[in-house]
Amino acid sequence: MLLLALFLPQKANNVLAVISDAMAGGHNVVAMLDSIAAAEGCAGRGKEDGYDVMVGYTCFTDFKEHPRILNKRLNSTAAGRYQFIYPTWAALKKSLNLPDFSPLSQDRAAIELIRQCGALQDIKAGFVKRAIVKCKRVWASFPGSASLYPNGTPQPERSMKFMLDAYTKAGGTIAADFSNVQSGVA
């Protein structure tokens, strides 16, 4: 497997996930995929917009399987646009019957992780902040995730503003939050 070290800036394109809106369950879901890739530091990197990036920003070229290469410095096998660690990927590949580690398979697997967090319907409805909070146990870059790693994580935690900016840049819509509005009923 050929490995290339790449440190490229993020692209300025809006939506970069390969899955269609229809297959993902709506454009908000696709926008969430782009915000995850941005948070994980993979959007716009590598030759395949992060789909070919391993933790530490080294790239792989063969999409037949998860590269399953341990970054000893970071003690992680994370790879792909959504930085799947190998055990997580193996379980998703089996449960979803994914044929490979291609961009489409990665998108489908990330959507399944969102669903497993109980956040998929929130995203579809535009309740993105709620979805981000629900998904922080999966992606260490999400706001509030640092408290889940008492020994620290080598990955920087993104702010909620960063996540929402990436989501809206990708064309995601955020539902109005009326939870703090007082009822006009006397």
Q: What is the tens place of the pLDDT at every residue in 111-158?
A: 999 999 999 999 999 999 999 999 999 998 999 886 665 555 567 889
Is the residue at 132 inside a domain?
Answer: yes
Residues annotated catalytic, as ranges: 40
Looking at the structure of the chain, the number of domains it has is 1
Reading across the β-sheet that carries 53-54, which strands appear in turn? Answer: 4-5, 58-59, 53-54
Q: Mean pLDDT throughout 100-114?
A: 98
CATH of the domain at 98: 1.10.530.10
- What predicted TM-score, i.e. pTM, was given to this entire model? 0.85
Is the residue at 43 inside a domain?
Answer: yes
- State how far the Cα of 145 lies from the Cα of 75, in Å rounded to an integer: 18
At 15-30, the pLDDT tens digits run 679 999 999 999 999 9
Is the residue at 95 inside a domain?
Answer: yes
Is the residue at 120 inside a domain?
Answer: yes
Domain enclosing residue 140, as ranges: 25-169
Is the residue at 50 inside a domain?
Answer: yes
How far, CA to CA in Å, does 36 sit from each of 75, 83, 107, 170, 184? 21, 9, 11, 11, 39
Is the residue at 96 inside a domain?
Answer: yes
Is the residue at 63 inside a domain?
Answer: yes
